[in-house]
Amino acid sequence: MARLSFTKMADQIPTEADAYEYLEKLRWPSGTPTCPHCGHKGANFIRPRNGDHTTRTTSRGAQTARRLWQCKGCRYQFSAMTGTIFHGSKISLRTWLFVLFEMCASKNGMAAREIERKYGVAPKTAWFMAHRIREAMKRDAPGSLIGTIVADETWVGGEPKYRHRRPGEVARRGSGTDKTPVVALIDAGTGEARSAVLPNVDSTTLRKAMLQADVDIDHSVLWTDEAAYYTHLGRRFLAHETVNHSEYEYVNDRGATTNLAEGYFAQFKRSLDGTHHHVSREHLPRYLTEFDFRYTTSAMSDERRMARLVGQAEGRRLSYKRVKG
Ligand SMILES: [Zn+2]
C-alpha cells in the first residue's frame, strides 16, 4: 500500500493557501472546478488583490486565504470548501486536512482528546470535528452486498455488572453485562464491510441488520460459524456454509471461513481499547461507520482514500444539534 506519511503531507501544505489548493486537487482531480450550485463544470478563479495573490479581505475586514471561484454558468461564487463538512467552520482548513488524514490513515483512528491536544482546539470543537468526519465516512452508494457474505457478531464495550452476580461467578456475554452486540457483514469478494449495532442477537435482529445493509440475500452465499440463529436465516441464501469453531475448525472443507469478520473485530476492539477507551452505546454506530470506511478502503492509497472521503463530504454537513441528538 502506498503510504503518504503525515510529514510528507504537512510539507505539501505549509500555509492555509496551500491547504485550499490541496483540497481543490482532491475534489477536482481533473483540474476543472464543478459548481456546487448548478453543477456546471468550469469556473473562473477570482484572483485576490494583495501583492502575492494569496489572501483576500473578507467583508468583515479579516484576511483569509480562501481561494474563490466563479461559476461560468450561474455566476455563483464558491470555494473547494463550499458544501463540504468543512463549510462554515472556523477551524483552519490545514487543521481539518491534518485531522482528516490521521483519521483516514491511522489504523486505530484518532480520539477527540488527541485532536484537542495536538491541534490546540477546544474539547467540544475536537469532538465535533471527529464526528463531522465520521458523518462523511458513511457509505454513499446504496448498492447491495452481493456474492459471498461473511457474517459474525461480537459484544463490545461496557463493564460487566458485578452487582447482578454472585462472588466468583464468571462474566458472561449478553444479559448480565452492559456490553453491546455488534454484527459485521463483510463481502469476501470486494472487502467491503457493513456493520451494525443490534438490540440483541437472534435471527430476527440479524435478518433486519442484513436488510438494512442491503445484503442481496437471494443472490448471495452466507458464511458463518455454527451459531443457531444463523441456521434459519441461512436457508434464505443461495447457500449457507458454516465453520465449526468448537472443533477448532477455521476453514471448512469447502474453503469457507469467518476469518475476515474476526480480523475486523480484533482491529475494532484494539482501537476501542487503545484510542477511544470507552464508547457509549449511543455513539457506537458512528465508530462502526468509521471502521467500515477504513476497512472497505484499506487497499487504497492514503491519498485516494482521502479524496474519496472529501468527495463524500459533499452535502454531508452536520449540525452540532444533530450530533448531540
Ligand atoms: Zn453554477
Q: Give residue 324's pLDDT.
A: 47
Q: Is the pLDDT of residue 316 over 50?
A: no
Q: Tell me the CA–centroid distance for residue 138 and ligand 1, in Å.
A: 27
Q: Tell me the CA–centroid distance for residue 35 and ligand 1, in Å.
A: 5
The boundaries of the domain holding residue 235 are 148-281
The amino acid occupying position 8 is K
Of 91-105, 275-289, 310-324, the one with minimum mean pLDDT is: 310-324
Which is higher by pLDDT, 227 or 50? 227
Q: Give residue 109's pLDDT.
A: 81
Q: What CATH number is associated with residue 238?
A: 3.30.420.10
Q: Quote the mean pLDDT of the chain.
A: 84
> Is residue 211 domain-shared with residue 109, that is, in the same domain?
no
Identify whether the C-beta of residue 276 lies closer than 8 Å to the C-beta of residue 109.
yes
3-state secondary structure of 282: coil
In a domain, 165, yes or no: yes
> Is residue 106 domain-shared with residue 196, that is, in the same domain?
no
> Is residue 120 domain-shared with residue 202, that is, in the same domain?
no
In a domain, 174, yes or no: yes
> Is residue 277 domain-shared with residue 315, that is, in the same domain?
no
> Is residue 1 domain-shared with residue 133, that is, in the same domain?
yes
> Is residue 183 domain-shared with residue 204, that is, in the same domain?
yes
In a domain, 63, yes or no: no
Number of domains in the chain: 2
pLDDT band at 159 (very low <50, low <70, confident <90, very high): low
Q: Is the pLDDT of residue 233 over 80?
A: yes
> Is residue 242 domain-shared with residue 210, that is, in the same domain?
yes
Q: Tell me the CA–centroid distance for residue 29 and ligand 1, in Å.
A: 18
In a domain, 83, yes or no: no
Q: Tell me the CA–centroid distance for residue 57 and ligand 1, in Å.
A: 23
* Average pLDDT of the residues in 222-236: 94
pLDDT band at 138 (very low <50, low <70, confident <90, very high): confident
Range 189-209 burial, b when 16+ CB lie within 10 A, else e: eeebbbbbbbeebeeebbbeb
Give the C-alpha distances (Å, rounded to integers) separating 259 from 214, 244, 263.
22, 12, 6
Segment 263-312, tens digit of pLDDT = 999 999 888 887 776 777 888 898 899 999 999 998 888 888 888 887 67
Question: Which positions ≥6 away from 58 have C-beta within 8 Å?
Answer: 64
> Is residue 190 domain-shared with residue 301, that is, in the same domain?
no
> Is residue 264 domain-shared with residue 186, that is, in the same domain?
yes
DSSP collapsed to 3 states, 253-273 = CCCCECHHHHHHHHHHHHHHH
In a domain, 166, yes or no: yes
Helix (H) or strand (E) run with residue 100 in it: helix 93-105
φ/ψ of residue 116, rounded to 5 = -60, -45
In a domain, 250, yes or no: yes
Q: Tell me the CA–centroid distance for residue 45 and ligand 1, in Å.
A: 13
Q: For residue 318, how many other CB atoms are within 10 A of its CB?
A: 15
pLDDT band at 322 (very low <50, low <70, confident <90, very high): very low
In a domain, 131, yes or no: yes
* Average pLDDT of the residues in 240-258: 85
What percent of the chain has a predicted confidence (pLDDT) above 90?
A: 46
Q: Tell me the CA–centroid distance for residue 23 and ligand 1, in Å.
A: 19
In a domain, 23, yes or no: no
> Is residue 210 domain-shared with residue 247, that is, in the same domain?
yes
Q: Tell me the CA–centroid distance for residue 147 and ligand 1, in Å.
A: 41
Q: Give residue 118's pLDDT.
A: 93
> Is residue 298 domain-shared with residue 274, that is, in the same domain?
no
Identify whether the C-beta of residue 43 lies closer than 8 Å to the C-beta of residue 69.
yes
> Is residue 115 domain-shared with residue 3, that is, in the same domain?
yes
Q: Tell me the CA–centroid distance for residue 83 and ligand 1, in Å.
A: 13
Segment 33-92, tens digit of pLDDT = 999 888 899 999 998 888 777 888 887 888 888 899 999 999 999 999 887 778 778 899
* Average pLDDT of the residues in 128-151: 87
Q: Tell me the CA–centroid distance for residue 280 and ligand 1, in Å.
A: 43
Distance CA 25, CA 31 (A): 7
